[in-house]
Structure 1
């Protein structure tokens, strides 16, 4: 309803919508062109958004999204549902292989460990949720592991969903060739089979 509109809020949301693009950082002029707002108006809106970490200003004066949108997105119900489905499979993988099993998410040149199950072995890849590392390829979230190895297998996701991988990691040469891949494929099959059944159920 028209009387429920708050103009300042709608302007701020318009600014945030401008960041929904492949370009990661914007100059003030680029944001003005994308939103149609005067630069003086934009600076006031960006100042408020920056205080709540919805946007961040880099040293070169360009603006990019802050951490608050990502933090809120991770609290969304589908993320909790995914965790409830994936964590038991990670525990199974860690117990079956004796290696570290994890759910990885990669975007914008960075990978992050979202969930993990550690094996009982003292000699292991000590990965923790929240661990992050840079990536050079969007389809390869593996970090550099001196003396170690990580095998990854992508999960099926929608076009607008984050990219997730199941992974196993540990010391190089401890597992027979192909063993990790087979274990990951079996885990992915267990994860995606119930989802496929639900999607085809009338």
Structure 2
């Protein structure tokens, strides 16, 4: 009903809807063009959204999604189920290998970090849920990491489901060749083993 509408809220939601796009970041002018709002109006809306971490302004002046949308998305039932299965394996990888462990999901033309476990090391790949980057190859979700390295291993997914990868990332050359791959394969094996078998295996 018309009397139930709050115009300022609807405008803020219109801004957030703009980020449902393969384009990761937007200038103020681009947001104005997409939403049809004046720049002065957008700055007020973005200011409120950024205070609650729904959007963030980068050092380049462009606007990106913050961490709050991802935090809320994790409350969605399928995501909670995925996190319950995968997060313990990421935590184990990060603890055993001492590098950043993550679950990556493919979208058309880009990859999104869904879950992550950070190591205690000061020098590390600071990856966060909701981080996105462009990709040209469907079989290679790795971002550009100058001075760093990422190893990925695909998980089995059903027809029509997004492609998922387990990953380890950190400074290049810090671990022997093949060590990351072996750790990822072991984690994938634990994920694909039914829980009852895990409980009864020696």
| SS in structure 2 of the partner of residue 114 of structure 1 | strand
* Normalised TM-score (structure 1): 0.61
Partner of 2:93: 93
CA distance in 2, matches of 1:154, 1:189: 12
- Residues 83-140 of structure 1, C-alpha deviations (whole Å, 9 max, x = no match): 1110010000000000000000111011111110000100100111111100011111
Partner of 1:167: 167
| SS in structure 2 of the partner of residue 187 of structure 1 | helix
The Cα of 1:53 is off from its aligned counterpart by 3.9
The Cα of 1:52 is off from its aligned counterpart by 9.1
Which 5+ residue runs of structure 2 have no aligned equivalent? 1-13, 22-29, 35-64, 198-202
CA distance in 1, matches of 2:109, 2:159: 18
The Cα of 1:73 is off from its aligned counterpart by 8.1
Which 5+ residue runs of structure 1 have no aligned equivalent? 1-49, 61-66, 198-202
Partner of 1:194: 194
CA distance in 1, matches of 2:131, 2:15: 26
CA RMSD of aligned residues (A): 3.0
CA distance in 1, matches of 2:108, 2:157: 17
User: What pairs with 1:11-26 in structure 2 (closer than 5 Å)?
Assistant: none
- Residues 51-92 of structure 1, C-alpha deviations (whole Å, 9 max, x = no match): 994988x979xxxxxx9xx98987542221011110010000
| SS in structure 2 of the partner of residue 89 of structure 1 | helix
The Cα of 1:194 is off from its aligned counterpart by 1.4
- Residues 143-177 of structure 1, C-alpha deviations (whole Å, 9 max, x = no match): 00000000000010001111110000000100000
User: What pairs with 1:16-95 in structure 2 (closer than 5 Å)?
Assistant: 53=17, 76-95=76-95
CA distance in 1, matches of 2:159, 2:139: 14
User: What pairs with 1:66-145 in structure 2 (closer than 5 Å)?
Assistant: 76-145=76-145
Query: How many pairs does the alignment contain?
Result: 140
Partner of 1:3: none
CA distance in 1, matches of 2:160, 2:113: 20
Partner of 1:23: none
* Normalised TM-score (structure 2): 0.61
CA distance in 2, matches of 1:79, 1:195: 19
- Residues 9-41 of structure 1, C-alpha deviations (whole Å, 9 max, x = no match): xxxxxxxxxxxxxxxxxxxxxxxxxxxxxxxxx
